[in-house]
Chains A and B, each alone.
Chain A
Amino acid sequence: MNHNNMLEDVADFTVKTRSADETLEFGRRLGALLRPQDIIALVGDLGAGKTWLAKGIAFGLEVPGHEYVNSPAFDLVHEYQGRLPVYHMDFYRLDQLSNEDYLWIEEYLDRQGVCVIEWADKFIDQLTKDYLKVELRETYNEDEREIRITDIGGRYKRVIEGLKQQ
């Protein structure tokens, strides 16, 4: 695992959200900027708000509000239909990628939807060279989160620009 390396990357965009609602809203803005085959790698400790941010991204992709977006840690992947299909995955439960894991994950990465992957840093570098890394960190203020966004591979300049403009 190269978690340490990841932290050394210089984030392209950093924002602080002061409440769960603001984190959700930030996810919504991010989701609105996404296109088919975009890959969002969510990185952060337990309780950092990865699932909550994924929910915001799903709403930004126009997944209907009545859909209950929750953690796919057990099922590995949940699918939602919004403006684009949303494939919400979670690598938490995987210790390593088996041959079969490569097959199903790569198939999702190839489909015409958006992949949002929790605990992505465990394996993402074995799967693709292009992804948008979104790191969540708790700060000393309760409910406040620092969100660092890094364009890995160069595909996501438009998303970074979009976030900066808002």
Chain B
Amino acid sequence: MIVLGIDTSKETGAVALTKDDLLLGELALQIQDAYLQSILTMMDHLFKETHLTIKDVDLFTVVLGPGSWSGLRIGVTTAKSLAHGLNKPIVGVSTLDALAYNLRYTEKLIYPAIGAKRGNVFFAGYRCTGDTPQRFTNYKHTSVKEYLNDLEEPSVLLLDDSLRHQEVFTSRRSDVVTIGSPFLSQIRGVFINEAGLHKFVSSGADDTLSLVPLYLQEAEAEAKWASTHNR
């Protein structure tokens, strides 16, 4: 099964092409706002180098958010248009789920976090002892303080660019709280595909036309996610 994954949720843009267990190709760019224009070029480049075409894709995976409003609109709309036009299934993946795939086979708890407006964060907690991260909290939109209060230890924090250098986080570093490497705190295209494929196999595709970005705040985001994902 050939899977194309797309992420435009932050300043990063990533695309990945996998075939069953093989990573055929992956591209990531971090250029402020430029991913908005370059995502199609990146996909085109991947297809050229792998001698495939968009018609060979069996499943589209896309990062739904939380993240940048414009970025998510573009990524989700691009993926939906392709899936709808080619009549292929699509699966949306939470930004936080995709990030949790970056660290596995560890007893430590994994807490990906993304900076939100007004000093808040989006985060969730995961047990990553096996192949598939198991989320054990709700998706949360809280103050930084609440995030740090909620942490169970020992844990690894995967912090995005806007959070990583804040003193409130770095001062929390200890024997039992690790701040993950910056490169483990960015979404990897290949893990969008792994997360999306896992979800596709276990609970099927999302409805192409009603799939929407997950950019709304707090209560609304939770309710929307719950109603569309039966979790």
User: Which residues of A approach B to under 8 Å, CB–CB?
Assistant: 85, 99-100, 103-104, 106-107, 111-112
B141 to chain A, nearest CB (A): 12
Instruction: List the 3 shortest-distance A-B pairs measured between CB atoms, nearest first.
Output: A103-B69, A104-B69, A107-B69
Taking the complex as formed, is B178 at the interface, i.e. its CB lies under 8 A from any CB of chain A? no
Contact A100:B70 (CB < 8 A) given known A85-B33, A111-B33, A112-B32: no
Which label, helix, strand, loop or mixed, suits the secondary structure of the B interface?
loop
Q: In the complex, are the beta carbons of A103 and B32 less than 8 A apart?
A: no
Other A-B pairs, 4, CB within 8 Å; known A99-B216, A107-B70? A100-B216, A104-B70, A107-B68, A107-B69
Q: In the complex, are the beta carbons of B217 and A99 less than 8 A apart?
A: yes
How many of B's residues come within 8 Å of A, CB to CB? Answer: 10
- Chain B residues lying within 8 Å of A107, measured Cβ to Cβ, are 68-70
Q: How far is the CA of A85 from the CA of B34 in the complex (A)?
A: 11
Taking the complex as formed, is B153 at the interface, i.e. its CB lies under 8 A from any CB of chain A? no
Q: Which residue of B lies closest to A77 (CB)?
A: B70
- Chain A residues lying within 8 Å of B70, measured Cβ to Cβ, are 104, 107
Q: How far is the CA of A100 from the CA of B220 in the complex (A)?
A: 11
Give the residue of A85, A100, A106 whose beta carbon is less than 8 angstroms from that of B117. A106
B65 to chain A, nearest CB (A): 10
- Chain A residues lying within 8 Å of B33, measured Cβ to Cβ, are 85, 111-112
Q: How far is the CA of A36 from the CA of B211 in the complex (A)?
A: 34
